[in-house]
Amino acid sequence: MTTPAPLPVADLARLHDELLDWFDRTARDLPWRRNASPWAVMVSEFMLQQTPVSRVLPVYEAWVDRWPTPAALAAEPTGEAVRAWGRLGYPRRALRLHAAATAMVDRHGGEVPSSLDDLLALPGVGDYTAAAVSSFAFGGREAVLDTNVRRVFARVVRGEQFPPAAVTSAERELATVLLPVRDAHRWAAATMELGAVVCTARSPRCDACPVADLCRWRAAGYPAYDRPARRGQAWHGTDRQCRGQLMAVLRDAPGPVPKSALDAVWADALQRERALDGLVADGLVEPLPDDTYSLPS
């Protein structure tokens, strides 16, 4: 028994046509779209997790110039991946991308696999990344659900300001039902683009939306989000900020860093030690016998 369409068939067809036409006319010129090789797509997806495009672009360009293949990255120490990650944040992503590259060399001849199951078996690759790589690199018919896509579907189809805090089975079912029979990879990119540049979280530009007349949230008068408050992530004074300061010292140093240099960048000794211990536990920092620290070798 098939799931009924969440919009009338005619409206669903219009949603597909108008959004895809809009995307063809207005899509941003992004390097991972110009060069949609599987490796380029995978690198971009790792970097774009919780990070805006503007911050990713310079790091991405330098990364793929230096490491144009999984084998090129796998041949380097993990510390070099962490160093090249720079200030993108969440540097464990660099470790996971390096581990994924190593696994691709070991299991797939240095190529990004096209099978969804093989992608999911790579270190650091979850449901979203596997679906995105399958869709954007191989034209797979997958439901690609990032924050932007989820917000678009919540507003246009469900009539809600925001999606739930975590992806639900109902969202996955809805996203699958919405997939067009053809051009599913373009649909995934188009819905992502709409959420990123028009149907934004704080200031949606409904006047520029190609599917505004189909949007149930707009038709309902923009009802406010009625679930528990959505909390933004604090930064100033947090362990995350402390970790970032410590990592900056290690990235910028040509070699091992004495403990005193790390102590100098954060005044709260207890918080600093907790953050440093966490970085060591995460494999991002390597303690050396002479009371110095370095990026992993």
Q: Which residues are catalytic?
A: 45
Assign residue 188 a region: left if phi > 0, alpha if psi is -120 to 50, beta otherwise?
Answer: alpha
Tokens of 50: 């919780």
Sheet with strand 257-258: strands edge to edge: 257-258, 292-294, 286-288
- The burial of 64, by beta-carbon neighbours within 10 Å (0-12 exposed, 13-18 middle, 19 or more buried), is given as buried
- The burial of 4, by beta-carbon neighbours within 10 Å (0-12 exposed, 13-18 middle, 19 or more buried), is given as exposed
Which among 61, 65, 96, 103 has a CA at the least distance from the CA of 81? 96
CB 129 within 8 A of CB 119: yes
Pairing of strands 286-288, 292-294: antiparallel
Q: Which helix (H) or strand (E) segment is 188 a member of?
A: helix 184-197
CB 194 within 8 A of CB 209: yes
Using CA atoms, how far residue 119 sits from 38, 96, 115, in Å, is 11, 13, 6
Sign of CA dihedral 56, 87, 90, 38: positive
